Amino acid sequence: MATTRTNNVTTENLVRQSTLHVFCIGGSGLRILRSLIMLLASGYDIKGYKIKPYLVDPHLQSKELSEVSDLIAKYHKLYYGTNNGFFKTPIEADINNLNVMTSTNVNDKSFGTFIGSQACQTGSPESMLIEMLYSKKNIETSMSVGFKGSPNVGSVVFQDFVNSKWFSSFQPTQNDRVILVGSLFGGTGASGIPAIADAIKKKSAATKVGVIALIPYFALGEPAENSQHREINSEIFDIKSFAALKYYADNANSFDRFYVFGDTEKKVYNYDEESQGNDAHIIELAASQAFKDFAEEQDTDLTPSTRWNQIVIDTNKPTLNYDDCGEGLKTAISCLSDFYSFSKVFFLMQRETFYPFYRGYKGVLDTEDFKTLNDFIYEEDPQKYSFIRFMGELHDNKRAFNAIDTRDIISPENDVQLDHYRFVPSARFHLLNRDRNGADGTRVISSQFVKINDSYRRSLKKQEEITPVSAFLNAAQEGIREVNVKQYTANLK
């Protein structure tokens, strides 16, 4: 059952007749969706489209899967679909059934059980074929944590997925578009993308299909010596990606646009199949730009000659400041810095007992919607994902994203007592970190307070049938935008 919120249908929403179906395949797909959710929450808009995510991950107990599901559920509560403001792009999702992989029979079976290899007699042609195509490890290992970097396993399972009842009922309508997101160097994304793209094109040849593919941007360390799990070898990530790209280059009929993202700087994560949870990375943020690019492209512009795309950063520095990020990321950065400013205001204003905007909402700040907003921005629980954690991870990752001044976020890397990111908003801040002309001057958050209150005063004169949290977000975004746009303009001079 889809649980789209329709508390306030606006003209803009009525125009959003088309859906961008997003298949997030495997861990990398989930991480890009996580970046997209953060951008959409920050007011980033994919015009004309509502987003419908499908999580495709056999690793049902994955931490990232539960974090992303939780984020979608929170976004869903906060989305209000006005023309302006944070959370304005609708995300339509079946909250209780986000992971469509449950429609297959994967569960925690081994691959051998899944394909019924036990039923083949030893020495039979079927048995020999299986032995030729799959290692003993492939056959015996449980698929409960995914395909462990083995696309040959995943490709069989995905055939089962595209024949499933769920997939049979999946039918994009006219003008809908489909985008598939995943990595080429793992198992799930590498095998899922071609299988699902082919199946969708067979179902509806007119549907435009895009692919966002990640090539290596992180590495895995050596597994512990006594570890039973050592199937994934990150040293061959590049080779696997190259082979996959070659395949796509030779079989380019199932998609209309292909975006590739990767990085030469790589953070090395501990080898942990059970709970691999990578930190947010600028590559995932950059990849999120592709959704907008693909969705806003005219059908006539999606031609074979424009099929391959790359988005690059301007400089090859280990830490990227505002000026290093390239023009393509500027819109995303301005949205994120707006929402970061808002996050500061939201937490600071609760101490300002005479602030009219605060008093105007004081009576409803403990309602569920506002608690959800609070949790979306910042949660101390390290098991939960939040915007502040996202910004902190972007900043601490390799390559580091340092375009926005996030000095209010205390990183666990800098404080051994912490096991999570801590948010300590102060009234002073820089908006952007720049290379040219030194740092953007120190400012006080009070300009935002004033402008938010101005827009709040204006909103009191309007009669809008929107929820309190919607009105709150609207006024806040309007005020913050007014101040920050001036600062961006000043910075560009």
Partner 1 sequence: MYKWFLDLFGWKTWTSQFSDEMRQTAITYQNTFNSVGSWTAVAILLGITILMVVLYYYVWNKLPGFHFRIRHWIGFMLISAVLVGVLTFFLVRVTTNPIGVFAKKAPFFPLALINLLYSFVLYIICSLGINAFFKKSTNASCTPFKL
Among 96, 106, 105, 90, smallest CA distance to 41 is for 90
> Does 347 interact with partner 1 (rule: CB under 8 A)?
no
CB of 454 to partner 1, least distance (A): 7
> Does 474 interact with partner 1 (rule: CB under 8 A)?
no
> Does 346 interact with partner 1 (rule: CB under 8 A)?
no
> Does 446 interact with partner 1 (rule: CB under 8 A)?
yes
Contact by Cβ (8 Å): 26, 182:
yes
Residue of the chain from 449, 469, 471, 481 that contacts partner 1 (CB under 8 A): 449
Count of positions on this chain that bind partner 1 (CB under 8 A): 16
> Does 354 interact with partner 1 (rule: CB under 8 A)?
yes
Phi and psi at residue 141, to the nearest 5°: -75, 140
Is the Cβ of residue 246 or residue 428 nearer to partner 1 in the bound state? 428
Please spell the DSSP secondary structure of 129-184, one letter per residue. Answer: HHHHHS-HHHHHSBSTT--TT-HHHHHHHHHHHHTSHHHHH----TT-EEEEEEES
Is the Cβ of residue 137 or residue 457 nearer to partner 1 in the bound state? 457
- For partner 1, which stretch binds (CB under 8 A), given 94-102, 124-132, 269-277, 443-451? 443-451
Euclidean distance between CA atoms 380 and 367, whole angstroms = 19
Is the Cβ of residue 193 or residue 480 nearer to partner 1 in the bound state? 480
Q: Helix, strand or coil for residue 215? A: coil
Euclidean distance between CA atoms 374 and 294, whole angstroms = 32
> Does 429 interact with partner 1 (rule: CB under 8 A)?
no
- Per DSSP, 432 falls in state B
Contact by Cβ (8 Å): 335, 42:
yes
Residue of the chain from 239, 460, 485, 490 that contacts partner 1 (CB under 8 A): 460
Residue of the chain from 202, 407, 457, 486 that contacts partner 1 (CB under 8 A): 457
Residue of the chain from 62, 150, 278, 453 that contacts partner 1 (CB under 8 A): 453
Contact by Cβ (8 Å): 179, 23:
yes
Euclidean distance between CA atoms 356 and 459, whole angstroms = 13
CB of 322 to partner 1, least distance (A): 23
Q: Specify which residues 401 forms β-bridges with.
A: 320
Whether the link from the prior residue into 399 is cis, omega within 30° of 0, is yes
- For partner 1, which stretch binds (CB under 8 A), given 179-187, 293-301, 331-339, 353-361? 353-361
> Does 355 interact with partner 1 (rule: CB under 8 A)?
yes
Number of H helices, E strands in the chain: 17, 14
Helix pair 468-492, 446-460: axis angle to 10 deg: 130
CB of 469 to partner 1, least distance (A): 20
> Does 436 interact with partner 1 (rule: CB under 8 A)?
no
Site string for partner 1, 296-335 (x = CB under 8 A): ----------------------------------------
Residue of the chain from 48, 112, 326, 356 that contacts partner 1 (CB under 8 A): 356
- Tell which positions 409-428 bind partner 1, by CB under 8 A: 427
- The phi-psi region of residue 81 (left if phi > 0; otherwise alpha if psi is between -120 and 50; otherwise beta) is left
> Does 352 interact with partner 1 (rule: CB under 8 A)?
yes
What is the contact surface with partner 1 in residues (CB under 8 A)?
352, 354-356, 359, 427, 444, 446-447, 449-450, 453-454, 457, 460-461
